[in-house]
Amino acid sequence: MNRAAAVAVALCLVVSGILAQQEQPYRSHVTIKAGDLEAIIADNAGYEGHRAWYNGVAYLSHKAKPGNHFWPRIAGMNFEHIWDGEKWWEPVEALFEPRSTELVLHQLDETSVQLHMPPSNLHRLESWTTYTVNAPHYIDMDFFCIPRKETFDRGYIGLFWASYINTTDENEKPIYYIGSHRDSRKRQWVSWKTAAHSTNGTVRYQEDVRDISFHPEHRKMLYNTFADSAYAYPFYYGVRDGMVHIIMFEAEPGAIRFSHSPTSGSPVGPGTNPAWDWQFIIHDYQVGQSYGYKARLVYKPWVSRQDVIDEYEGWSGRKVSFTE
């Protein structure tokens, strides 16, 4: 998406949010039902049964599998980190800046909710995230942000989203994507389950020619430890209790990175749940410029890997080619 289009869409989101704010009383969360899905979209305030600081999709249920797909009391598609590779924010409020910054929730219509983050507490990044629940089994996410100050010390912006999956079954923890292993250009299905949190936690795009730097003493995180494989297409899936979770992206090539943890969202140890995460990298950012991407979550009964490909091809308009 070019700069003019991104700015135009961001401005539309701002205007929509202002109008919604004028018409609506404050709500910390909104329930949406569409097709086979029921979802709750939440801001950073807690409510009964849901912790504070976990914005995004607080609850997701399908008619074929009642109950929350995400770890109870937490969230999926949750905006978690803002980082620049240089600073290490010690207070927890700084580490989880998008969670600790107050968000403004607007219901745009019967199926869409927007979360507006005014310039964030530390990096002064402003953002708009719109979640739309679409029949029969989709959640579409549009994200745009504008850096308001020159606060990212290494010239790039790193943003991170987390989805905490409601399973402790070791066989259900991996995610799967089409990519290649180190020293190979052969495209195939890759099964990826990290051995521990912040160990080989990031998968980059196969054709990504730009790297990002980190301070030598930066703490190990999911976003600065790397896998020995790369993805070829910007989508991955996981399977939980007979239901498939597919997440697909539309962004500049290489801007999206995948992340995984086998133990996030609950205390580390036996019986922990996985995190199926992603990052959005903005190179050479300019203050006042708009940046963004789109994502689609598919949540429905598992069919096959070909069905996963069909979902991606139908949404993106891009053909998938690989070796079985």
Q: Nearest 5°: CA angle at 201, between 276 and 86?
A: 115
Dihedral sign from CA coordinates of 126, 295, 298, 198: negative
Enumerate long-range contacts of 147-150, CB under 8 Å, 24 or more apart: 147/123, 147/285, 147/286, 147/287, 147/288, 147/289, 148/119, 148/124, 148/287, 148/288, 149/119, 149/123, 149/124, 149/287, 150/287
Note the CATH architecture for domain 3-316.
Answer: Distorted Sandwich (2.70)
Cα–Cα distance, 246 to 302 (Å, whole number): 10
State pTM to two decimals.
Answer: 0.90
Q: How high is the pLDDT of residue 198? A: 79
Q: H helices within the chain, ranges in order? A: 3-23, 92-95, 97-100, 305-316
In the chain, the amino acid numbered 302 is W
Query: On the CB side of 73, how many CA atoms lie within 13 Å of its CA?
Result: 7
201 φψ region: left (φ > 0), alpha (ψ -120 to 50), beta (else): alpha
Contact 69, 245 (CB under 8 A): yes
Q: Nearest 5°: CA angle at 239, between 233 and 243?
A: 115
180's enclosing H/E stretch is strand 175-181
Cis peptide upstream of residue 301 (ω within 30 degrees of 0): no
Cα–Cα distance, 33 to 15 (Å, whole number): 25
- Per-domain residue ranges of the chain: 3-316
In the chain, the amino acid numbered 299 is Y
Contact 249, 177 (CB under 8 A): no
Which residue is it, tokens 């089994």? 137
Cα–Cα distance, 301 to 278 (Å, whole number): 23
Contact 99, 117 (CB under 8 A): no
Q: How high is the pLDDT of residue 195? A: 83
Which structure tokens are listed for 25? 């009383």
Q: How far is CA 35 from the centre of its chain?
A: 22
> Nearest CA to 176 among 322, 38, 318?
322
pLDDT one digit per residue (tens) for the chain, 324 residues: 444 444 444 445 554 454 444 566 788 999 999 999 999 999 999 999 999 999 999 999 999 999 999 998 999 999 999 999 987 767 788 889 999 999 999 999 999 999 999 999 999 999 999 999 999 999 999 999 999 999 999 999 999 999 999 999 999 999 999 999 877 778 999 999 998 887 888 999 998 888 899 998 888 889 999 999 999 999 999 999 999 999 999 999 999 999 999 988 666 556 789 999 999 999 999 999 999 999 999 999 999 999 999 999 999 999 999 876
Three-class secondary structure of residue 257 per DSSP? strand
